[in-house]
Structure 1
Amino acid sequence: MDLVLNGRGARITDRIREVARQKLSRLERMEPRVTRLQVEIISERNPRLGGAHRVEAAFDTPRHTFRAHADAPDVEAALDVVVEKLERQIRDHREKRRAKLIAGASRVKSAGNHERAPE
Structure 2
Amino acid sequence: MQIAIKGRGVPVSDELRERITKRFAKVDKQVSDLAKLEIELRRERITSGAEMDVADVTLHLKGVSLRACESAGDPQSAVNLCADDLARQVKRHRDKRRKRREARAAALRPAV
Asked if TM exceeds 0.5, the reply is yes
Instruction: Tell which deviates more after alignment, 28-37 or 81-90.
Output: 28-37
RMSD of aligned Cα (Å): 2.1
Higher strand share: 2
Partner of 1:81: 81
Rounded to whole Å, the distance in 2 between the matches of 1:65 and 1:27 is 14
Give ranges in structure 1 of 5+ residues lacking alignment.
Answer: 115-119
Taking a change above 3 Å as real, the CA distance of residues 35 and 15 of structure 1, as seen in their structure-2 partners, is same
Q: Assess if the C-alpha contact under 8 Å between 2:41 and 2:75 holds in 1.
A: yes
Which of structures 1 and 2 has the bigger CA Rg? 1
* Structure 1 residue 3 displacement after superposition: 1.3
Higher helix share: 1
Identity of aligned residues (%): 23
Rounded to whole Å, the distance in 2 between the matches of 1:51 and 1:82 is 18
Q: Secondary structure at the match of 2:46?
A: coil
- Runs of 4+ aligned residues of structure 1 deviating over 3 Å after TM superposition are none
TM-score (norm 1): 0.83
Taking a change above 3 Å as real, the CA distance of residues 81 and 34 of structure 1, as seen in their structure-2 partners, is farther
Partner of 1:64: 64
Partner AA of 2:21 in structure 1: R
Q: Secondary structure at the match of 2:45?
A: coil
Q: Assess if the C-alpha contact under 8 Å between 2:43 and 2:51 holds in 1.
A: no
Give ranges in structure 2 of 5+ residues lacking alignment.
Answer: none
Q: Does 1:107 align with 2:107?
A: yes
Q: How many residues align?
A: 112
Q: Secondary structure at the match of 2:108?
A: helix
